[in-house]
């Protein structure tokens, strides 16, 4: 499912073009790591954000991102994005929401596209954070579109034809975070919301 989510969100919603500037938040997650690699296959410049230095290194050294940064070490996200995208962002693959989305909107280029896959920073809040820079969407004619993976189930066979050769050739890689034992499931689930996982969280109930 993460693969089809990344495929539909990036290729269908974002409609990427070669040479465009792409930013992926929560980029070490199951979907984000694939979006970044798809962007590189398209010939785009791609930067990802993550919550630890180990994840940042993974993005650059395993998944081939052009650059990456630890958002927890950036007191000013707007300034950080200007540093990594001095010419602005064409495509933002949104997995975080909140302050990150607010900063990204200020850094979008004219006719930029934002694919809203999720907003992990908002799921457990009593009151969602407001977004304050919405007029930039008007000035820059930015398109924001939410989507769910079910939209792309009819394209599943097309997705497999696309992705399997790249996996066999080692051009697309993935990481799974595997936990053994059903008794460890609750802790693994909580870890999803605190950024403990890397890639798809998998719980192995039994070895057979």
Token representation of residue 107: 């850094």
In this predicted structure, the answer to whether residue 166 has a pLDDT above a threshold of 80 is yes
Q: How confident is the model at residue 123 (pLDDT cuts 50, 70, 90)?
A: confident
Q: How far is CA 108 from CA 36, 59, 64, 101, in A?
A: 18, 22, 23, 10
pLDDT score for 197: 59
First to last CA, the chain: 22
Cα gap 120→118, rounded to integer Å: 6
Which pLDDT score is estimated for 124? 78
Residue 125, burial from CB neighbour count under 10 angstroms (0-12, 13-18, 19+)? exposed
pTM over 0.95: no
What domains are defined for the chain? 2-151 (3.40.50.720), 175-208 (no CATH)
DSSP 157: H
Ranges of beta strands (E only) in the chain are 21-24, 45-50, 67-70, 89-94, 108-116, 143-146, 176-180, 200-204
Q: Please, which pLDDT band fits residue 190 given cuts at 50, 70 and 90?
A: low
């Amino acid at each position: 499912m993460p693969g089809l989510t990344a495929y539909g969100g990036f290729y269908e919603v974002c409609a990427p073009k070669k040479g465009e500037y792409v930013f992926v938040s929560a980029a070490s997650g199951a979907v984000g790591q694939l979006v970044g690699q798809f962007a590189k296959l398209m010939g785009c410049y791609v930067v990802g954000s993550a919550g630890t230095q180990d994840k940042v290194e993974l993005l650059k050294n395993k998944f081939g991102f052009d650059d990456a940064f630890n958002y927890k070490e950036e007191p000013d996200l707007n300034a950080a994005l200007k540093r990594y995208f001095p010419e602005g962002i064409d495509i933002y693959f949104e997995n975080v929401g909140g302050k990150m989305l607010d900063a990204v909107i200020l850094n979008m280029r004219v006719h930029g596209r934002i694919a809203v896959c999720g907003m992990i920073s908002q799921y457990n809040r009593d009151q969602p954070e407001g977004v304050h820079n919405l007029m930039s969407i008007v000035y820059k004619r930015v398109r924001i579109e939410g989507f769910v993976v079910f939209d792309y189930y009819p394209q599943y066979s097309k997705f497999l034809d696309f992705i399997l050769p790249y996996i066999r050739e080692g051009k697309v890689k993935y990481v799974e975070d595997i936990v053994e034992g059903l008794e460890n499931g609750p802790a693994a689930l909580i870890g999803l919301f605190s950024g403990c996982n890397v890639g798809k969280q998998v719980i192995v109930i039994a070895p057979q």
